[in-house]
Structure 1
Amino acid sequence: MARKALILVEGHPGNGPLYIQAAQLLGLHPITLSADPAQYGYIAAKGIEAIRVDTDNLDSLIRECSRISARYDLAGITGFAFYNEPLSATVGKLCRNFEQPGPNPESVERCCDKFVQRQYLAEAGVPTPAYRVAEKAEEVESSAAEIGLPVVLKPVMGAGSRGVRLCRNRDEVVEHAKYLLSGDYAWRCSPRILVEQFAQGPHYIAEIMEGEIIGIAAGYFGPLPHFAFSGITFPAPLTDDEYRRIANVSLSCLQALGLGWGPTCIEFRWTKRGPVVIEVNPRLAGAPDPQLIQLACGVDLITEHIKLVTGQKCDLRRRHSHTAAARFLRPDRDGILEWIDTSRAAAVSGVAEIRLYVAPKTPLSSKGEDLDCIGRVIAASPNLAQTEAILQRAVDLVDWSIKPIPTGGK
């Protein structure tokens, strides 16, 4: 009997290894298709089969999957689109071609373009910040004036907070628009900027699978004008009314965009008028959200997603009720990481994981993007206060040294 293969289109530094592990525990043979498999260090480290292919080309993916299906029993297809949102739609088309369970590619495409997504949400009466789309610097400036400062400028496609900035005055609007449109920013599509009203208030993330709200996380950011996460707590400390209102708007988003199969994560700000939708992502949230959910309530979203992908029924029953939280380790300046010591932090009772993303001698940047992160610390306990205390103690015990990047002739 042929082995059952799970095809993973591209990879992910956080969730990727978790999908590999979960697939193997389910008796599946994971195969990664990637334009550059070497960029995912865990593939070589774990000896995972990988095939180089142009993942932006649907025909190339179809040909490669056909070759794989001649050697294996094709159990399912999924992929990672954290830094390439349109890839989610490509995966949906690939699943449709091979008659495999997967997301509706048309619904996913509505989400990938943040401006189109906003149009669908607005038509359905879902609360969002005021917004405009602009292709030229002067259009960005006039849109900001119409909406009223401060505004947030962001590429219409993208993830990981790349290119996203709060602009509090006209000079900052002009400066950031120039950066995004001058060629310094790497676009994967025609340059278009979403100009949106700055929605002020606590940040929440609705974690959804198969149209069911698993829970709502609280997200915390580092210093403005950037929007890089500094921490996440699951579940968020919400009143019953706050939870209900976020849940109701979340379900309205799914209906408006035609979503419902598989995972979705929806980001909100709680403003003076209640929950306002910032972004609907037609995919599983990036790490460490899945780990936090598993620690907090015992639901393994990655395993359950693979079950869906392979035509099985998922099990979303909660096993317990704890609080899990993560803090991200970020450099406060550009430089080179000389050394980092997490041994004392790892010894703190209640710490579930400490993971480093970079090794010593690595150049660090402080651009305010997710890629700036040095690592993360995760803790869990029966209640929020205890979890926060564990996490703070552990983070305080992490020590590192950053030296300036040499300049000039020396």
Structure 2
Amino acid sequence: MPPVDQRVLVVGTTADYIEWIRTCRPGQALFLTDPAVRREADQPAPLPDEELLCDLADEPRVREMLARHLDRWRLELSGVACYDCESMALAARLADAYTLSYPSLQAVNNCRDKHRSRILWREHHLDTPEVRRIGSAGEAVDFLREIGGPCVLKPISGSGSELIFRCDSEADCQRHYRRIVQGLERRRNHRLYQPFCATGADILAEAYVGGEEYSCDFMLENDRVTLIRLARKVLFSQDPFGTAKAYILPADWPEAIGAGELERTLYLSARALGIQRAVCMLDFIVHQGRMVLLEMAPRPGGDCLPSLLRRCYQVDVLQLALDFARRQPIELNLPASPPPMVGLRLHAGQEGRLLSADTGDLSRDSRVQEIHLIRKPGHRIKRPPEDYDAWLLGHLLFVPDADEDVAAQCRSLCDKLTVQVG
């Protein structure tokens, strides 16, 4: 009888991540994938023993099919990894069922529930925006009046900038509250918003906090924090509020906040949410010399960040998360002062059916190191607030000129992508 083969269970990730991991770590992962992801994928399907297709919203069926798959192919799980917010709760339950290391379901829910995370951070004396759970546009207006300044309306769950709006007036509160309610109604069957928004609109109002925005990845293990990367966000005023147009790695760190304070805050913010061991992502704002916490998830940052980290630091965070899941020792040998690099997200300027995306001018720009397009001709482009995924065409990595503003360089590079829409 052949020996048992050990695999890390990767729960609910995208086809490009699956291909990335399969290429770098052949035979080390078992991918639990929603059939819709595979149907829409341009990448080749994994081997039959490498991927299990099932409706990830049907947990009893997932458990049954997973048990049969492991038995059929004589596989044994050595860890659980997850790269997507909507699949973290399922990953937590499966890790518990197979007695594997992963943040608890309560910790996952503490992260996904933005109201709960704010309350817990405040209880642990960590800076985070003032927040209130609201059930009407009138309550949003009341909150705006009470804080005497701009506020931000957002769903209680979700990720990124989806359905997040800044309100500078009472009219803004009225209008944007309705937009979130309508957006949540369209997304009521989306796993990203369940179970928090399954029975109605769960919406938060929080005080707007200005300042530079940052994102970081770190490992928490044995009561010790190890910083993986710290990136500064570039935001464009014409984009939907909160949209990260680009990430600069490594970030210019404010002198007012020392490395010791950063690590202490990362540790306390994770433990306050019940995380004891995980690879985590944290978004925060530096406001008047202090860290103001926005959002945490027990997963590495996604989008263009893994490619940026691999190119700039020669660190593969997807493989790192795989090793972390199976408790392999990890040694990070980050360069002391690498030249800055920027991950620039490429968005479509108009809706319609994608006819072509010409990257010729980008390829001839000496600053550009990599170009990754994720859409093919025929893709249906939709724009926020209707859809926050379909307008993303891909990303590129570039080394910025030192004597020119990074945001200005991002704009000029975006203009070099020629997109035709029908």
- Structure 2 CA distance for partners of 1:164 and 1:392, relative to 1, 3 Å: closer
Match of 2:318 in 1: 302
SS for the counterpart of 1:132 is strand
Match runs of 1:3-402 below 5 Å: 3-12=5-14, 15-24=17-26, 27-34=27-34, 36-39=36-39, 41-42=41-42, 44=44, 49-70=50-71, 71=73, 72-82=75-85, 84=86, 87-182=87-182, 184-187=185-188, 188=194, 189=197, 190=199, 191-210=201-220, 211-223=225-237, 226-242=241-257, 244=259, 245-272=261-288, 274-319=290-335, 321-322=337-338, 323-367=340-384, 369-380=388-399, 394-402=413-421
Measure, in 2, the Cα distance between the counterparts of 1:395 and 1:232.
Answer: 14
Q: Which whole-Å deviations, capped at 9, do the CAs of 1:192-220 have from their partners, x for residues lacking one? A: 10101111111101211233112310012
Moved more, 217-226 or 260-269: 217-226
Match of 1:406 in 2: none
Moved more, 257-266 or 166-175: 257-266
SS for the counterpart of 2:128 is coil
- Structure 2 CA distance for partners of 1:218 and 1:370, relative to 1, 3 Å: farther
Q: Give the TM-score normalised by structure 2.
A: 0.84
Q: Which whole-Å deviations, capped at 9, do the CAs of 1:54-100 have from their partners, x for residues lacking one? A: 32344333222222221223333323324x2xx31321221121122
CA contact (8 A) 1:6 1:23 kept: no
CA displacement at 1:47 relative to structure 2: 5.6
Measure, in 1, the Cα distance between the counterparts of 2:166 and 2:255.
Answer: 31
* Residue identity matched to 1:253: S
Q: Give the TM-score normalised by structure 1.
A: 0.86
Moved more, 233-242 or 176-185: 176-185
* Residue identity matched to 1:278: L
- Structure 2 CA distance for partners of 1:283 and 1:148, relative to 1, 3 Å: farther
* Residue identity matched to 2:362: A
- Structure 2 CA distance for partners of 1:148 and 1:215, relative to 1, 3 Å: same
CA contact (8 A) 2:7 2:76 kept: yes
- Structure 2 CA distance for partners of 1:392 and 1:173, relative to 1, 3 Å: closer
- Structure 2 CA distance for partners of 1:242 and 1:333, relative to 1, 3 Å: farther
CA contact (8 A) 2:114 2:157 kept: yes
CA contact (8 A) 1:33 1:50 kept: yes
Measure, in 1, the Cα distance between the counterparts of 2:135 and 2:15.
Answer: 32
- Structure 2 CA distance for partners of 1:337 and 1:66, relative to 1, 3 Å: closer
Match of 2:191 in 1: none
Measure, in 1, the Cα distance between the counterparts of 2:61 and 2:127.
Answer: 40
* Residue identity matched to 2:206: E
Measure, in 2, the Cα distance between the counterparts of 1:308 and 1:192.
Answer: 34
* Residue identity matched to 1:342: T
Measure, in 2, the Cα distance between the counterparts of 1:158 and 1:236.
Answer: 26
Percent identity (aligned): 20
Moved more, 334-343 or 126-135: 334-343
